[in-house]
Chains A and B, each alone.
Chain A
Amino acid sequence: MNKLIGNFIQSNARVLDLGCGDGSLLAFLKKNNQVRGLGLEIDHKKIQECLQKDVSVIDQDIDSGLSNFQDQSFDAVIMSQSIQALRKPEVALEEIIRIGKEAIISIPNFANWRCRLQLIFGGTMPISSALPHDWYSTPNIHLCSLKDFEKLCIDHGADILDRQLLSFDGEEQSFMKVAPNLLTEIALYRVKAKN
């Protein structure tokens, strides 16, 4: 997955990673794409790991807003599998394309066939590698499918430049093109604000 994201990023780009976790993606991009990276994270243990990796990190909750970032001030804004955990994904998307000249967003696909089967035949909320939590303790409060996310982009002024269909482990799987919304496990999008 890091490599796929890296393919979308120019060398020397200024990159903002929203919900950067332990900083491994930014560390990877720094090493391979020579990016100037900044991460946002609220978990202090993870912030510590970022500092260990020499990744710059700001203790800031995305849900509290991103108004402190200037328009088009980053070459790329990354949000890796966390938009579904935000209180207002639509506001976040608008902010992301305001701040970044481009945005790279990945989502776990809730309309994947395994999820559908669990719901239809199991009668329970789906649990999978990409969505490992019980319904009551999941941070993923705004799950969506590829179709849902693409509609969100249209409704909120984001142009989709690229889409990659991946398995849970971030491998590109060409067979998923047959029925993306059914087969894809994780989708990786490159988007930007409509002109």
Chain B
Amino acid sequence: MSNDSLGRVETKSFIHKDSFSLKSGKTLQGFEMVYQTYGELNEAKDNAILICHALSGNHHVAGLSEDDKKGWWDDMVGPNKAFDTNKYFIVGCNNLGGCHGSTGPNSINPENNIAFGSSFPMVTVEDWVKSQDLLRTHLGLPYWYAVVGGSLGGMQALQWSIDYPDLVKKIVVIAAAAKLSAQNIAFNEIARQAILADPNYNSEDKLPKTGLGLARMLGHITYLSDDAMRQKFGRDMKKGEVNFSYDVEFEVESYLRYQGESFSNRFDAHTYLLMTKVLDYFDPAESHEGDLAKTLKSVTAKTLLVAFSSDWRFSPERSRELANAFIEAEKDVSFLEIDSPHGHDAFLMPSETYDSAIETFLEKNE
């Protein structure tokens, strides 16, 4: 671990002018994609790493933004960190449908000059990977040395290895799955219903903040482990005793309300709806009658899968299934299950085993 920081980082923008067709059959009349880069591209152009973000992430992966906010993976991306910017040229982008600068529900629809809102077309992991490949061309990169991500980000890394086997040498798929379970889709559905049931949903001048906050509260619980919550809050009370009301009484209630509220002030409800659907629809094996091993036959990337013991949203079992499919397809795969009390969120936090596994795996050994 290192305290070195990248300092202030700049957001850049890539504009794709041509129309971009989506898996759903819909088309975007061009798009804008914001991104950041860290470290230097070497002369051979063989040190570029794409870091894909998860549900609520964005292109600001590391360093400090203009308003002094740290990137979501700043603990792991920077000089001498797990993703060492002294060695690698690292790219983070905001995916289509996002709400942090790339074309999404808040963008103006060129067909009618009003914001897309709920009419923004559904996107998929395949669409994202295709758009990220346009960014790769724009940056003049012959290929990615590695594509990396946790959770929904890991699914993009996996999709990259399937769709563009010649354009990615290594993938790191962290706390992810080859497809969502029924339970996982069920959580997403409740999150969506919370937003859709908010009276401000689709209102012209108000935002469905209550619904979005609720969706986030639910999500947040699933990102933590039972143990982590017990340790952090236990049954601690705000005022030390019950007052027989529906006000905030337990610390955990206060925490969740705060998380929900602050999230609803910085995130867009339409984007949230969209992202949960991207997760639900993800199933690369679909193209091979559900046979994941067959789907992976085309993969050439060296693969590292990482899971965390207390993660129940994307449990280690899901990563093992993925590992087994790679093995069945006779691919070069390694899998590591890291002991962690932090649940799904563990993928965001550096630890010795985690950092050094990534560092070692990324090391070139020709």
Inter-chain residue pair count (beta carbon < 8 A): 48
Segment among B25-33, B48-56, B255-263, B357-365 that sits at the interface with chain A: B357-365
**Number of chain B residues close to chain A: CB under 8 A:** 22
In chain A, positions 57-80 with a C-beta closer than 8 Å to chain B are: 57-60, 68-70, 73
Given contacts A47-B336, A70-B328, is CB(A58)–CB(B323) below 8 Å? yes
Residues of B within 8 A of A69 (CB): 327
Contact with A along B278-320 (1 / 0, CB 8 A): 0000000000000000000000001010000000000000001
Does residue A141 face the partner (Cβ distance < 8 Å to B)? Answer: no
Residues of B within 8 A of A60 (CB): 320, 335
Does residue A52 face the partner (Cβ distance < 8 Å to B)? Answer: yes
Do A52 and B330 touch across chains, with their CB atoms under 8 A apart?
A: no
Nearest chain B residue, comparing its CB with the CB of A67: B324
Residues of B within 8 A of A57 (CB): 334-335
Do A58 and B333 touch across chains, with their CB atoms under 8 A apart?
A: yes
Residues of A within 8 A of B320 (CB): 60, 68
Does residue A38 face the partner (Cβ distance < 8 Å to B)? Answer: yes
Nearest chain B residue, comparing its CB with the CB of A53: B365
Given contacts A56-B332, A56-B333, A58-B334, is CB(A48)–CB(B357) below 8 Å? yes
Do A56 and B353 touch across chains, with their CB atoms under 8 A apart?
A: no
Do A51 and B357 touch across chains, with their CB atoms under 8 A apart?
A: yes
B324 in complex: contacting residue of A50, A52, A68, CB < 8 Å: A68
Given contacts A52-B360, A59-B335, A68-B324, is CB(A44)–CB(B330) below 8 Å? no
A50 in complex: contacting residue of B323, B328, B334, B363, CB < 8 Å: B334
Alpha-carbon distance between A44 and B337 when the two chains are bound, in angstroms: 9
Do B333 and A48 touch across chains, with their CB atoms under 8 A apart?
A: no
A48 in complex: contacting residue of B327, B332, B356, CB < 8 Å: B356
In chain B, positions 15-36 with a C-beta closer than 8 Å to chain A are: none
Given contacts A47-B336, A58-B323, is CB(A73)–CB(B328) below 8 Å? yes
Do B337 and A51 touch across chains, with their CB atoms under 8 A apart?
A: no
Does residue A54 face the partner (Cβ distance < 8 Å to B)? Answer: yes
Alpha-carbon distance between A48 and B363 when the two chains are bound, in angstroms: 12
**Number of chain A residues close to chain B: CB under 8 A:** 20
Residues of B within 8 A of A73 (CB): 327-328
Does residue A114 face the partner (Cβ distance < 8 Å to B)? Answer: no
Alpha-carbon distance between A2 and B327 when the two chains are bound, in angstroms: 24
Closest chain B CB from A17 CB (angstroms): 13
Alpha-carbon distance between A53 and B334 when the two chains are bound, in angstroms: 12
Closest chain B CB from A12 CB (angstroms): 12
Does residue A87 face the partner (Cβ distance < 8 Å to B)? Answer: no
Alpha-carbon distance between A84 and B334 when the two chains are bound, in angstroms: 26
Closest chain A CB from B1 CB (angstroms): 16
Alpha-carbon distance between A48 and B356 when the two chains are bound, in angstroms: 8
Closest chain B CB from A65 CB (angstroms): 12
Alpha-carbon distance between A68 and B292 when the two chains are bound, in angstroms: 14
Do A54 and B327 touch across chains, with their CB atoms under 8 A apart?
A: no
**Which are the 5 A-B pairs with shortest beta-carbon distances?**
A51-B360, A54-B365, A68-B324, A58-B335, A59-B337
Residue pairs across A and B with Cβ atoms less than 8 A apart, 18 shown, are: A44-B338, A48-B353, A48-B357, A51-B304, A51-B360, A53-B365, A54-B365, A56-B302, A56-B333, A57-B334, A57-B335, A58-B333, A58-B335, A59-B337, A60-B320, A68-B324, A68-B327, A73-B328
Interface on B for A, CB 8 Å cutoff?
302, 304, 320, 323-324, 327-328, 330, 332-338, 353, 356-357, 360-361, 363, 365
Given contacts A36-B332, A56-B333, A68-B324, 16 further A-B contacts (CB under 8 A): A36-B330, A38-B327, A38-B333, A44-B353, A48-B353, A48-B356, A48-B357, A48-B360, A51-B304, A51-B334, A53-B365, A54-B365, A56-B332, A56-B334, A58-B335, A69-B327
